[in-house]
Structure 1
Amino acid sequence: MNKWKQAFRVFFRILRDAEYAQWLQQKEDERAQGSRPAARRSEAVTLLAVLQREGRLVDFLQETIDSYSDAQVGAAVRDVHRSCRSALERMFAPGPVLKEAEGEAVQVGKDYDPGRMRLLGNVAGEPPYNGTLVHSGWAATRCELPVWNGSEESIPVIAPAEVELK
């Protein structure tokens, strides 16, 4: 019941006191603006946007390449590879999960992390296991995606449409 009394008091004070009404409206507006979250975009879309902007990766992957010669595809791949590799290096600095060279003998302890190592071949019994490193894996040594500042409508946009003006 106390809230009802307070509500009536505020209501009648607003009717009598224009300055108070204006102050209350200002507080309500500030609260509404502050509670509205900024548009958020998936980091996956941001990554695709960077790879598209810098290496035209999405254009390349979406293109049907059946009609092109191997030489034409190879030439296109070289540019896409160079640009996308540079972007990945700048944002993630990928490094090997395991320091041993591929082809070297590796012992897998009983406390191994399946997120860091995938066991192939004849996996039987309990660790430790002995095997040969087939691929050293990749791990991000940093993660520096660009900050995205866009509108709600542009959240899913990987690459904006390009319009040439004449």
Structure 2
Amino acid sequence: MRLWLAIQSFFQVLFNRDFAAGVKQLQLAAPAAEPAQAEPAKPEPPKPQPPKPQPPVRSEAITLLATLQREARFVDIVSESLDGYSDAQIGAAARDVLRDCGKVIERMFALQPFAAKTEGEQIEVPAGYDAAEFRLTGNVSAQPPVTGELVHAGWKATKCEVPKWSGSKQAALVVAPAEVQVG
């Protein structure tokens, strides 16, 4: 019934000018409705804490080691006993491993010399230097800034792009899978 009255009133406002004017008069004359009395604010329940990020299933160090093994056979050469091989055989094997390891390191880290000088040149170590940047040898009793001969330029990574692990938790520590030739 209410719906019917609402529809009827709607059409009267649309098609009956006098009725519409009367409705408008009533709206203007009506006192403003007082806002409803607000209930006292209830304290909001504590928001659930977002879940703590789970540590990666596999460390980047294992991923790097696995990449060096897969692409350069690094683990094989450092793990194998070299007693039964001649220096020439070791050198021949090492040449390929070192070249392929270099490719992996370059792709992932793009290493560059830290110091912008040539080994053997004089270099100044500034006051307040970070021990991760310079390793002083020789007479190290002097306080920086100090000048000395550059023995090794050091290395710094210009990027770090170690692939993310996408394997299972079970295989997270596997550096190289066992190879099985089936008959």
Q: Higher helix share goes to which structure?
A: 1
TM-score by length of 2: 0.69
SS of match in other structure, 2:170: helix
- In structure 2, give the amino acid aligned to 1:69: S
CA distance in 2, matches of 1:142, 1:35: 27
Residue of structure 2 equivalent to 1:135: 152
In the alignment, does 2:96 pair up with 1:96? no
SS of match in other structure, 2:67: helix
TM-score by length of 1: 0.76
Structure whose alpha-carbon radius of gyration is higher? 2
Query: Shift of residue 146 of structure 1?
Result: 1.1
After TM superposition, the runs of 4+ consecutive aligned structure 1 residues lying more than 4 A away are 34-39
In the alignment, does 2:90 pair up with 1:73? yes
Instruction: Give the number of the structure with larger relative contact order, counting CA–CA contacts within 8 Å between residues 6 or more apart.
Output: 1
Taking structure 1 as reference, are residues 41 and 102 closer, same or farther at Cα in structure 2, changes over 3 Å only? same
Residue of structure 2 equivalent to 1:151: 168
In the alignment, does 2:99 pair up with 1:82? yes
SS of match in other structure, 1:80: helix
- In structure 2, give the amino acid aligned to 1:63: E
CA root-mean-square deviation: 1.8
SS of match in other structure, 1:112: coil
In the alignment, does 2:130 pair up with 1:113? yes
Taking structure 1 as reference, are residues 36 and 152 closer, same or farther at Cα in structure 2, changes over 3 Å only? farther
Equivalent in 61, 69, 92 of residue 44 of structure 1: 61
Taking structure 1 as reference, are residues 49 and 35 closer, same or farther at Cα in structure 2, changes over 3 Å only? same
Query: Shift of residue 39 of structure 1?
Result: 5.6
CA distance in 1, matches of 2:112, 2:53: 39
Aligned length: 133
Unaligned runs of 5+ in 2: 1-50
Taking structure 1 as reference, are residues 39 and 122 closer, same or farther at Cα in structure 2, changes over 3 Å only? closer
CA distance in 1, matches of 2:126, 2:156: 20
Unaligned runs of 5+ in 1: 1-33
